[in-house]
Structure 1
Amino acid sequence: MTESITHTLDDITAWLFEHIVQPAMYQLGLMDWAEDAVDWIEFGLFGIFSIIVVYVVCRPLEAWWPVEPVTDRRAIRTDILYTLLTRLGLLPLIAFVLLNSLSAWWEGTVADSGFVPPTLENLIPGLREMPVLAFALYVVILDFGEYWRHRFQHSFRWWWALHSIHHAQRQMTFWTDDRNHILDEIIGALWFGAIALLIGVPPGQFPLLVLISRLAESLSHANVKLSFGRVGERLIVSPRFHRAHHGVLSAAEHGKNYAVLFPVWDWIFGTADFRRDVFPRTGDPEGPEALATGGWVRQQFVGLKRMAGAIAGRSGN
């Protein structure tokens, strides 16, 4: 599956570059950036592909069995803007440049020092012959890292000041997954990418890991009254499980259900709420109104201002 996705993206990228981007770059005298342009086209195409996959899976579910009726379409349109900017706009460019720089630095450091990174395949040589098992272990380890990143977002006041933008949404849908402060998104991209580098995730498998993570998170935010049952709720994060995390009584340090994909982390560390009949109202009652109803620019500014206040030790909204 990974190879099929990669080949398709490569073919579309090559056509777009040859027929549209390259002629324009030649006319503008920008051919020194040709290789970077190819990478950027492929990165953008993957963003489009991930949005399509998420929409096809989540939108029918929301139409089928919503938790609540849609009463604030403006708030949802703001979340759609977040998604487009996150996956197709400025943020992917920033993350792409940072992660490429991090990868180049890491490879250069390893080459110069002769140090062999403790990747999974180095620690467990047999995984080289079992690519499916290796991929499954990558998913588990990355998900464990995401659980702790999410807990830290709720534990540190400066980080919560950013993350509270995500929790301020009262009209939660699958678009809400990308409703984050740009600094929070950059930290998350670096966190996820650094762990992937450390455990030796092959470059060809990284896009599929990102796609799985995005699909799981979008589904968990969907406005759908869906639980996976007594057993399923303990295996995979459901919309019910994650909605309890977004409930008005679960903000900041009071949070439950931090897991992204596997609820086992919440069970192990005592942060799980498995009550299957709970579909609470969402939002952050202690946050400023601008984070709930303001536009993208306003929310970004307020989040940054609150983070600066938290770092300076000031209280209040």
Structure 2
Amino acid sequence: MFDPVIRLYDAFTSWLFQNAVQPALYAAGMMEWADDAFSWMDFFIFGLLQVSVVYAVCRPLEAWRPVERWDDRRVVWTDVAYTLLARLGLLPLMAFVILAGVQAQVAGWIADAGWVAPNLETLIPALETRPLLAFALYILILDFGEYWRHRLQHSIPWWWALHSIHHAQEKMTFWTDDRNHVIDDMIAALWFGGLALLIGVPPGQFPLIVVILRVAESLSHANVRLSFGRVGERLLVSPRFHRLHHGVLSAGEEGRNFAVLFPFWDMLFRTGDFRRDVFPRTGDPEASADLVRGGWWRQQVEGTRRLWRALRGARAA
């Protein structure tokens, strides 16, 4: 059922490369970069798709019923810069350059060992005729991994030093989802991609899973007075549910509502707060001015300093 979507996307990227990117490379005498350029273009198109879908879903909701209204939105524009850098610009290129060699090395080790990643359809043959159920189970397992990554971000001091950039935002919007330190983003990419590889997520389904989780995370950060009701709040993470996580009383190690997509994990591990009609002020009272009001670069520098201090403190202890 996913094949038509995959074929449509592949056809579009191939057409764009052949009719725009490849001629430009040829004219510039840079055809030796063709393979890398195709990979980079795929990064860009997929990122543009994510941003477009998120904006189409979340922006009307924020305009409809915002929790807060602000005259000064400069710090929100910083979060927009985070999103564009993370999804369209510099950061995917950095990740590609840094991680491509590592990925090739790991792939070589795996091939030499003769190991083939299992998948759910192999472990549970009945799923071969139930692709939607298999797809849902992949999302469930990955969401479980994201829940624990999020908890560790709050419980490990050096990781919180990075993640605190995310929680410093006092004017939270759907753009805030990408407000992260670059090191934190790379750890997250390795965590998520590594788990997907371990459980054998089919390559054709992986991008769709990324888009679903991306939209869910952005919606949960949206500045909208929206809950899913007593039952719905226990099925899917809502903006109200996640706003409690970003509330000023939930920063640091005393966090709650860590789930990304399914609140079930917070229910299972007793970290859920299901108070209804509660939309607290967001931010971290202990965050420095650079983390709260600084631009992208200032926040990255301050986050790195906090990381260094946390690591030095851990060694001293």
**Under TM normalisation by the shorter chain, which class is it?**
over 0.9
Aligned to 1:206: 206
CA displacement 1:50-102 (0-9 Å, x = unmatched): 11111111111111111111243101110000000000012122334556555
Written as runs of structure 1 = structure 2, the 5 A alignment for 1:1-317 is 2-97=2-97, 100-101=100-101, 103-313=103-313
Distance 1:121 1:60, change over 3 A: same
2:273 counterpart letter in structure 1: D
The alpha-carbon deviation at position 189 of structure 1 amounts to 0.8
Contact 1:2 1:204 (C-alpha < 8 Å) held by counterparts: yes
CA displacement 1:95-132 (0-9 Å, x = unmatched): 34556555544443333222343432332233233211
Distance 1:219 1:269, change over 3 A: same
Measured on the aligned residues, the alpha-carbon RMSD in Å equals 1.7
Distance 1:161 1:267, change over 3 A: same
The alpha-carbon deviation at position 22 of structure 1 amounts to 1.3
1:56 counterpart letter in structure 2: A
1:114 counterpart letter in structure 2: G
Q: Could you list the runs of 5+ residues in structure 1 that have no partner in the other structure?
A: none
Further displaced range: 6-15 or 295-304: 6-15
Further displaced range: 206-215 or 35-44: 35-44
2:10 counterpart letter in structure 1: D
Contact 1:121 1:200 (C-alpha < 8 Å) held by counterparts: no
Give TM-score scaled by structure 2 length. Answer: 0.94
Whole-Å separation in 2 of the counterparts to 1:76 and 1:153: 23
1:43 counterpart letter in structure 2: F
Indicate the SS of the match to 2:300.
Answer: helix
Further displaced range: 83-92 or 39-48: 39-48
Give TM-score scaled by structure 1 length. Answer: 0.94
Distance 1:116 1:16, change over 3 A: closer
Contact 1:237 1:260 (C-alpha < 8 Å) held by counterparts: yes
Indicate the SS of the match to 2:135.
Answer: helix
Indicate the SS of the match to 2:74.
Answer: helix
Contact 1:110 1:117 (C-alpha < 8 Å) held by counterparts: no
The alpha-carbon deviation at position 39 of structure 1 amounts to 2.2
Indicate the SS of the match to 1:311.
Answer: helix
Distance 1:59 1:303, change over 3 A: same
CA displacement 1:275-315 (0-9 Å, x = unmatched): 0121000000001111010000000000001101100008x
2:299 counterpart letter in structure 1: Q
CA displacement 1:116-157 (0-9 Å, x = unmatched): 434323322332332111111100000000000000100111
The alpha-carbon deviation at position 45 of structure 1 amounts to 0.6
2:114 counterpart letter in structure 1: G
Whole-Å separation in 1 of the counterparts to 2:88 and 2:107: 27
Contact 2:117 2:197 (C-alpha < 8 Å) held by counterparts: no
The alpha-carbon deviation at position 30 of structure 1 amounts to 2.2
2:27 counterpart letter in structure 1: Q
Determine what percentage of the aligned residue pairs are the same residue.
65
